[in-house]
Amino acid sequence: MPNTSTRPKRGRRNRRVPREDPARNELVSRSLESAQQCLFNQDYGTAFVHYLLVLNLAPVLKDFASESFRFTLFKWADELDSLGRIQDLFDCYEQALELFPTDEVIINSMGEHLFRMGFRDEAAGHFHKALKLKPDYPEAKENFYRVANWLVERWHFLMLNDRRRNHKYQQAIQKAVEGGCNTVLDIGTGTGILGMCAKKAGAAEVYACELSKTMYELACEVVTANGMNGLIKILHMKSLEMEVPKDIPKRVSLVVTETVDAGLFGEGIIESLIHAWNHLLLPPQSTQDPSRPPSQAGRVIPAGATVFGMAVQCLEIRRHHRLCVSEIGGLATAAAGELHSPVSCSSEDDSTEPYTTERLSRLPGGYTPLTEPFNALDIDFNNVQELEGLCSREVSRVRLPVTGEGLLDALAVWFQLHLDQQSSLSTGPKEDTCWEQAIYPVQTPHSRIIYIRHVQCLAKVFGPLELGDLLPHFSLNAEAELCSALACLGTEQSSGPRDYTMLECAEMALLNNQPYHDSFRRALAKLITNLKDARSVQGPSQGQGLEVMPLTDPPSGPMDPGPDPFYVLDVSEGFSVLSLMAASQGQVKAYSSVEKTQHQAVLRRLARANGVPEEALEFWLNQVEDEQAVLQRPSREKLWSAIILDCVETCGLVRQKLMEKATLARCLLEDGGQIFPERIVLYGMLVESDTLLLESAVQGQEPTLGFNIAPFINQFTVPVHVFLDLSTLQCRHLTVALTIKRNVPFSGPCLSKIICKNPNNFTDLHL
């Protein structure tokens, strides 16, 4: 029988309840109170430190204090950003994420800071993480779509959807591998498709390199999904940094690449191929030793290229790159000086781009060729001496008969890529291709002879195209002299440095939009007239609205004696003449938000030339300490007569955050004052477009060249396309244009007509 004398088992002890620590509780209470007081006093840095102490000592307060903590973090981060204390900013976010590791709002906000500072890969990771935590979080979703455009450019989809291009590359690679090139390096691998073609063709060893972190990770996923993990070695680095045997064990017999842009040389293919021939490729096949097997000789796909050019007239190109009008909203523009876009090959300014890109066949209004296409350059990628001598080759000229009469607006450039001796791809304007054409715009209409100078460095493979004193129009019998050493073309005069002001292409196009400015002029004139009439009835001391606490001291500066002026604030982004148009109405004190010194100088020159008193135009951001608080009263006793909100981008997007400030703006208006635009009406239309589909995602159910790529790259599909022009988009209209949102009016009744920044984006601004 059991031993009845056995001692009973000791039961489990009850867990001790932690004892209260009065000193800790007192510290938490006082720190929380101090945090709230600092927050009230807008001392965000000290408030943030107090909140950190509170939440580390008392994690149970996280739910209670999370909203205030977020607000404090974001305000303090903005201050640190404005002070340039970037490391401190990210330290604060790291501390915040230690407390709230799954807070999608904080993660998304850190991603926004990373994106603004150029860390796009890291930003994308934060936006993606925020979406995983909360898939319906709209801010993170919008941010991820925006950064996806940077990380995976839309041309990746176009190229993968270009079956003809894919098939020709695959054929050329297969022929080379079957011919004996059994070790392959894919430079700029992207999704890994060319490297996989080489492996599928039977290459013994395949290596690939990719600089973009996002594309490198994507390529690794694609290669693994296609059963080639371990068979293709992918390196996250530039090919220029690769060494033998550090990164690859030996020199390869074949380099495949498509590191070319619309202008052929913009992605550095010449520099990367020179490095490859000197460090990564076997020596080329020698005519002195033709018996050497292909596996012991080096070659490149593509084998070479031919560059073509053509002079064109095109109003759409012209209006985006130089000032085309002599009058803007009643203001004469002659005194503005030379204004043009930042697309130029000027050696004086490294901030400019040598060319832009357009699909000529889709430009609104089309284009007119002024010359026949001409052969500008032939280049052999398998000849390293030719590559190295490209920038020092002698200038040669070709004479071209002008075939059409018109104004020279640009040189359009495209190329034929020779994959091997039998196969080639053309990027010409009449080809059905995924490529656009390179556009070298003429920044001034004065030209007579076209020259091309030599290039000074390989980064800009050729010299700038110089337009001397060219006559504004070609005649049918004239000849244009063009140098055949083409690339990084510019449009600089040969008479030395010029004094000019650069505007963004969208700013230049808007400046050339006369209906837009004429509508604003009429609306402003009607408002000022109405306010003058109202003031003459009420008396000069009335009509200023209710008194509120002042946010700034009155601006200093001389004022003309006489009636109180009407105060107009233009908070448009970038360069805007709307404030100057208001000042030209008389009895108006206008404030511009133009920030750049050069742009302010242009407005001052225009003001003097158009008889606007100097004191009638001031620059608002020179007077407010915090750019975030731009919507303030003009002075202690005054209110605004008009506030201009630039709430629609030229690409067609509505600036939602700016529209949210409309409520605050209304509180700063005098009686009868107006916000422009008064309201916004959005229109929509259903369309069917294969072109949009091809630019949005890899299409079809079949694998690309037999490889499973679409599910991986289609993660970066974006639902919104901007800068679309329905007049040239290949599409079928399924409905008429319908009103989809009629915005609540910003202020009083409509004063003028309806205008539209971009008619084909269906956004009406009611003034």
138: Cβ contacts below 8 Å, ≥ 6 apart: none
- CA dihedral sign of residues 753, 758, 760, 764: negative
pLDDT of residue 724: 75
**Tokens at residue 271, please?**
């520099």
Per-residue model confidence (pLDDT) at position 554: 35
Give buried/exposed letters for 459-483 (b at 16+ CB in 10 A, else e). ebbbbbbbbeebeeebeeeeebebb
What average pLDDT does range 664-686 have in this prediction? 86
**Calpha distance 161→702 (Å, rounded):** 11
25 pLDDT higher than 80:
yes
- Segment 694-702 shows an average pLDDT of 88
201: pLDDT strictly greater than 60:
yes
Tell me how many degrees the CA angle 451-457-458 measures, rounded to the nearest 5: 100
Are the C-beta atoms of 532 and 606 separated by less than 8 Å?
no
Give the end-to-end CA distance of the chain in Å, rounded to a whole number: 102
Residue 2 pLDDT exceeds 60: no
Q: What does the alpha-carbon distance between residue 259 and residue 165 come to, in Å, rounded to a whole number?
A: 14
What pLDDT is attached to residue 628? 53
| DSSP conformation class of 688 | E
The 10 Å Cβ neighbour count of residue 730 is: 11
Q: Looking at residues 106-126, what average pLDDT do you find?
A: 90
CA distances from 579 to 331, 351, 550, 567, 619 (A): 12, 28, 23, 10, 10
Give the model's confidence band at 220: pLDDT under 50 very low, under 70 low, under 90 confident, else very high.
very high
What pLDDT does 134 receive?
Answer: 93
358, HSE (Cβ side, Cα atoms, 13 Å): 26
Q: Are 397 and 483 in contact (CB under 8 A)?
A: yes
Handedness of CA 384, 387, 388, 390 (dihedral sign): positive
Give the count of alpha carbons within 13 A of 716, CB side only.
26
DSSP secondary structure of 151-195: HS-THHHHHHH-HHHHHHHHHHHHHHHHTT--EEEEES-TTSHHH
pLDDT bracket for residue 624 (50, 70, 90): low
Give 764's pLDDT tier (boundaries 50, 70, 90).
low
Q: Which residues contact 381 (CB under 8 A, 6 or more apart)?
A: 269, 273, 300, 302, 303, 304, 305, 387
DSSP 715: G
The average pLDDT across 27-49 equals: 92
Q: Are 655 and 646 in contact (CB under 8 A)?
A: yes
Output the 3-class SS for 644-686.
ECCCECCCCCECHHHHHCHHHHHHCEEEEEEEECCEEEEEECC
List the single range of 156-170, 625-639, 752-766 with lowest mean pLDDT: 752-766
The string of DSSP codes covering 576-634 is --HHHHHHTTSSEEEEE----HHHHHHHHHHHHHTT--GGGEEEGGGT-S-GGG----S
In terms of average pLDDT, the best of 243-247, 488-492, 692-696 is 243-247
Q: Are 104 and 132 in contact, with CB atoms under 8 Å apart? A: no
Between 190-199, 361-370, 444-453, the lowest mean confidence (pLDDT) is in: 444-453
- Look-up: residue for tokens 């590791």? 101
Query: pLDDT of 325-357, one tens digit each?
Result: 999 999 999 999 889 899 876 545 566 778 999
Nearby residues of 747 by Cβ (< 8 Å), 6 or more positions away: 666, 669, 673, 674, 675, 678
Lowest mean pLDDT across 183-187, 400-404, 615-619, 760-764: 760-764
> Is pLDDT larger for residue 553 or for residue 63?
63
At residue 718, the 3 state secondary structure works out as coil
Other CB atoms within a 10 A radius of the CB of residue 580 amount to: 25
Model confidence band, residue 479 (pLDDT cutoffs 50, 70, 90): very low
217-238 average pLDDT score: 96
Give me 117's structure tokens: 């500072």
| Alpha-carbon span 652 to 641, nearest angstrom | 28
What does the pLDDT average to over 563-569? 89
Please compute, for residue 678, the number of CA atoms within 13 A of its CA located in the half-sphere on the CB side: 19
- Which of 740, 746, 548, 749 lies closest to 666 in space, CA to CA? 746
Residue closest to 466 by CA, chosen among 447, 439, 445: 447
**Cβ atoms of residues 668 and 544 within 8 Å:** no
pLDDT value of position 469: 32
Q: How far apart are CA 14 and CA 171, in angstroms?
A: 76
Please give the mean pLDDT across all residues of the chain. Answer: 82
H or E stretch including 569?
strand 566-570
pLDDT, residue 14, reads 54
Helix (H) or strand (E) holding 332: strand 331-332
**Percent of the chain clearing pLDDT 70 (strictly above):** 80
C-alpha torsion 397→398→403→404, nearest 10: -20
Cβ atoms of 605 and 357 closer than 8 Å: no
**Contact indicator for 683, 737 with CB cutoff of 8 Å:** yes
- As beta bridge partners, residue 398 has 482
629, pLDDT greater than 80: no
For residue 231, the model assigns a pLDDT of: 97
Contacts of 98 (CB under 8 A, 6+ apart): none
Model pLDDT, residue 721: 77
Q: Distance between CA atoms of 377 and 323, rounded to whole angstroms? A: 32
- Beta strands at 479-483 and 397-401: parallel, antiparallel or unpaired: antiparallel
Residue (of 254, 249, 253, 244) closest to 296 by Cα position: 253
pLDDT at 556 > cutoff 60:
no
